[in-house]
């Protein structure tokens, strides 16, 4: 399992990345994260929905209630243009952090 603090730190980027692929609702986002991480990242409703609400307040995503057939209404989330820009910026940060970590792991141990 990936530690909660690392999971929390990557949540914004992960959600924006998933929504860049298309609109989705909470349960499907949780399912997609579990699938993509091979089950190593686990999100609960209590962890995901506050982040979705914050992203919506920041104007990075928007939501819409959708009724399909006889199913109960679902709140679908979509990434906004500002969200797409934020995703690019966040990705650059993570790529830089990853490159620093890669460089550190390549260092030879000293005595």
CATH code where residue 35 lies:
1.10.10.10
- Would 111 be classed as within a structural domain? no
Domain with 31, as residue range(s), is 4-106
* CA dist list (Å): 69 to 64, 66, 72, 74: 16, 10, 8, 11
Q: How crowded is residue 83: how many other Cβ atoms within 10 Å of its Cβ?
A: 23
Per-block mean pLDDT, blocks of 10 residues, the chain (111 long): 89 97 96 94 90 97 90 93 97 95 92 75
- Would 15 be classed as within a structural domain? yes
What pLDDT, on a 0 to 100 scale, did the predictor assign at position 111? 75
What pLDDT, on a 0 to 100 scale, did the predictor assign at position 21? 97
What pLDDT, on a 0 to 100 scale, did the predictor assign at position 78? 98
- Would 28 be classed as within a structural domain? yes
Number of domains the chain is built from: 1
């Amino acid at each position: 399992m990936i530690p909660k603090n690392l999971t929390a730190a990557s949540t914004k980027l992960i959600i924006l990345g998933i929504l860049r692929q298309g609109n989705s609702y909470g349960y499907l986002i949780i399912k997609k994260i579990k699938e993509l991480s091979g089950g190593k990242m686990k999100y609960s409703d209590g962890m995901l929905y506050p982040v979705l609400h914050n992203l919506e307040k920041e104007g990075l995503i928007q939501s819409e209630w959708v009724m399909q057939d006889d199913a109960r209404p679902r709140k679908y989330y979509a990434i906004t243009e500002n969200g797409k820009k934020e995703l690019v910026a966040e990705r650059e940060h993570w790529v830089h952090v990853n490159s620093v970590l890669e460089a550190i792991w390549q260092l030879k141990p000293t005595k």
